[in-house]
Amino acid sequence: MPNASSAAWTVADVQADTGWTYTLSPVESAELLAAVRVARREDKPLLAWRRDDFKLDKALPTLAAAFREVRDGRGMALVRNLPREGVSPEEFMLMTWAIGLHFGVARPQNRASDYITEVKNVGVAYRSPTGRGYSSNAELDFHVDGADVVLLSCYNQAPVGGMSMCASAVTAYEVVKAERPDYAAALGTGYSFSRNGEQSGDEAPWYAAPICDVEDGRIFCKWNRNRVENAQKLDGVPRLSSLQREAMEYFDTVLRRPENMFCMHLAPGDLQLLCNQTMLHSRTSFEDHPDEEKKRTLYRLWIARPESRRLPQSWEVFYGTTEPNAVRGVMKGHNYDEMRRRFDARQAETLGMRNFG
């Protein structure tokens, strides 16, 4: 593989070396649950919690190692053995939030400006102009999310389907470059992405950015087929050239080659961490449990990370800033208010990060 970065992996690589997986010890797991139960108050708003409300001294080294793997290693990590038995959904969500407070500044994820979302099928049509995959049971396209790192904690898994799929964008790009350099060049041109109706008042409904770009010798990838296709339905959006469309189709095909697409089932108590700069992820469709309390449920958190890397300049249009060690993310939504601004500023100060508002 021309790119020597450990982020350029194949399925054989991550199967042979499982150093990207981490397991909380019983003591660490118990500390995590105890911290949540000691601190939890039902009347306390989510954004009122502070990092120091949750004492995670024993669990922090294992979690920190997983986050280092995401930044400097494969670009993905799996943490096993989060407390799950006898844990309520509310406790499990707060546990995910507590981990996030120790490792970054949470970012809004949707038009409601929610900072943590329940990944659960509520009947949303994924392919609609404003559809979001996390609210459907559909198979998803390979994509990145809108912050430095995405955390997915599994509370319930589906009885059928719902498998997580991951692929290295670095590997896929290098394969395309070797096989079809004309397509690789096209991936570096401007593709239009829809904001799916989630833009704030000062944002356009779409933006242009390359699928692949380079900064400091590293490959960065911004890919979301659904949003590219939705943008093509908007007024004023440039039409994709035949070369651009062929290039994105080829890129998607390379991602799904058996040697590049790694599949895993997240079990209850698993926490998946993914880098949204080099790691593309997807999910198979699933059949849900008829019992509401047993339906497939995960909690998703997007965070801006301390000691993050500088982004390509082309990413500023959707990340807000390309500066490293900064609060940055793709959307603010319709309800980004003073309460959210205060949270961002306070959490950035706690972690020593820059906050440009």
- The answer to whether 79 and 63 have CB atoms below 8 angstroms apart is yes
Consecutive 10-residue averages of pLDDT for the chain (357 residues): 72 97 98 97 95 97 98 97 98 98 96 94 65 70 95 95 94 98 98 92 92 96 95 97 98 97 96 97 90 94 96 95 94 93 98 94
How far lies 340's CA from each of 48, 107, 115, 226, 263, in Å?
10, 9, 9, 28, 36
- Tell me the backbone φ, ψ of residue 169, rounded to 5 degrees: -65, -30
All structural domains of the chain, each given as residue ranges with its CATH number in brackets, are 11-169+263-315+323-351 (3.60.130.10)
Give the pLDDT confidence score for residue 287 in this predicted structure: 86
Rounded to 10 deg, the angle between the 242-255 and 169-179 helix axes is 120
Kind of pairing, strands 149-156 and 164-168? unpaired
pTM of the model: 0.94
Give me the pLDDT at residue 137, please.
80
Give pLDDT, residue 147: 96
Measured between alpha carbons, how far is residue 257 from residues 171, 176, 353 in Å? 11, 12, 39
Q: Which amino acid is at 286?
A: F
- Residues with Cβ within 8 Å of residue 296, at least 6 apart in sequence: 119, 120, 121, 137, 156, 157, 158, 162, 286, 288, 289
Residue 308 is given by DSSP the state P
pLDDT value of position 35: 98
Give the whole-angstrom CA distance, residue 185 versus residue 169. Answer: 15
Residue-level pLDDT at 122: 73
For 50, how many CA atoms within 13 A lie in the half-sphere containing its CB? 7
pLDDT at 1: 33
